[in-house]
Structure 1
Amino acid sequence: MDAATRIAVIGVGNEYRHDDGVGWAVVARLAERAEREPLPHGTVLRVCDGEPARLISLWEGAELAVVVDAAHAHPASPGRVHRLELAGDRLAPPGGATSSHGLGLGEAVELARALDRLPRRLVVYAVERADDSLGSGLSAPVAAVVAPLAERITEDVALLRRPR
């Protein structure tokens, strides 16, 4: 990550596995919005397949890293959004939600901690998925949260920029 980057918004997933592409869709929505209303200086929008080393390289040195990923939960409520913030030593998903990838964000956080490469603040939005089969396009309940979640992330970024 560039030294001038203070905020990293990272969409995790695979846009060719239906709802697993929700992170990419939110980042795309933020990029569209940024054309009309620029994000604060030093904000970068990126997508990642979730591989821990790549993820860590995208958030390393950031004051705030916001990660959006699809989640698997039991029982599932597709489109429900969980907001998780790194607090103390743990990033634990509530209600049994887990990443839809083989290695989850928890493992990336633990590796980053061991390597002293955590961002100053880490916020994760985990969106419960309905469909992770092969193909493109989000299910209706997951697609419905893309715009509101992009707005919520814009508010998170704006809060960081307000004087204290």
Structure 2
Amino acid sequence: MTASAGAVVIGIGNVFRRDDGAGPAVLALLRQRARRRPLPDGTTLHECDGDPGRLMELWTDAPVAVVVDAFFPPSPHPGRVHRWCPAPDALPDLPQAGRHSTHGLGLLETLRLARMLGRCPAHLVVYACEGAEHGIGTGLTPPVARAVRPLAERIEQDLQRHAETTGLDRQPHADIRGTRRNASTTSHDTP
């Protein structure tokens, strides 16, 4: 895969497993919003089922990859979103990370493997939305559904900042308000 000129946004999940469909739901909203206000030049949107090989193929050599996934901690606060921007060689120590994901290998294990294989994006931003239900069925639970719009807006802000920083975006866009955060991990509850 050749290096991408723009950002890649990857929505991980399964729309037939309730809240595990949060990533694809955010991607669908970004596609809808992009029809009215285009995303920065070179931005691509992809759905992924969480397979490590497919995920690495989507983000390899990207200047920035934004990944959206649901996770299911033991005591969830459905709809709460965590933002994680790891340093190039930093990973949180989560010995049971796999049990928080509905995928065979979780995102952290995939990132470890990608680093060993030299298949990482230059910069990674992960949004993890706490879910309540991941059984068979369609439709997000109400708290997770309420998190989708603010999360899509936040990702648009990230993409715009990346484009402005790299000089890739030369087209005028509507004002996208937001604050810059230097912290490696943040979380927020949606209204």
Distance of 1:162 and 1:130 partners within structure 2: 36
SS at match of 2:75: coil
Is 1:85–1:91's contact at 8 Å kept on the other side of the alignment? no
Question: What residue is the counterpart of 2:188 in the other structure?
Answer: none
More strand by share: 1
Indicate how the Cα distance of structure 1 residues 135 and 72 shifts in structure 2: closer, same or farther if over 3 A, else same.
same
Is 2:10–2:48's contact at 8 Å kept on the other side of the alignment? yes
Indicate how the Cα distance of structure 1 residues 117 and 142 shifts in structure 2: closer, same or farther if over 3 A, else same.
same
SS at match of 1:69: strand
Q: How far did residue 56 of structure 1 move?
A: 0.4
Letter in 2 for 1:115: L
Of the three residues 132, 135, 138, the one matched with 1:136 is 138
> TM-score, length-normalised on structure 1?
0.92
Equivalenced residue count is 163
Q: Which sections of structure 1, spanning at least 5 residues, go unmatched?
A: none
Q: How far did residue 115 of structure 1 move?
A: 1.0
Question: What residue is the counterpart of 1:31 in the other structure?
Answer: 31
Q: How far did residue 93 of structure 1 move?
A: 7.7
Distance of 1:76 and 1:140 partners within structure 2: 14
Distance of 2:156 and 2:135 partners within structure 1: 30
Aligned-pair identity in percent equals 52
Deviations 1:85-108 (A, max 9, x none): 1214223288x8733322111111
Indicate how the Cα distance of structure 1 residues 146 and 93 shifts in structure 2: closer, same or farther if over 3 A, else same.
farther
Letter in 2 for 1:106: L
Deviations 1:58-109 (A, max 9, x none): 0011111000000111321000101111214223288x87333221111111
Matches within 5 A, 1:98-137: 98-137=100-139
The alignment yields a C-alpha RMSD, in angstroms, of 1.8
Question: What residue is the counterpart of 1:15 in the other structure?
Answer: 15
Letter in 2 for 1:119: P
Q: Which sections of structure 2, spanning at least 5 residues, go unmatched?
A: 167-191
Question: What residue is the counterpart of 1:69 in the other structure?
Answer: 69
1:91 corresponds to 2:106: no
Q: How far did residue 141 of structure 1 move?
A: 0.3
> TM-score, length-normalised on structure 2?
0.80
Greater Rg by CA:
2
Question: What residue is the counterpart of 1:40 in the other structure?
Answer: 40
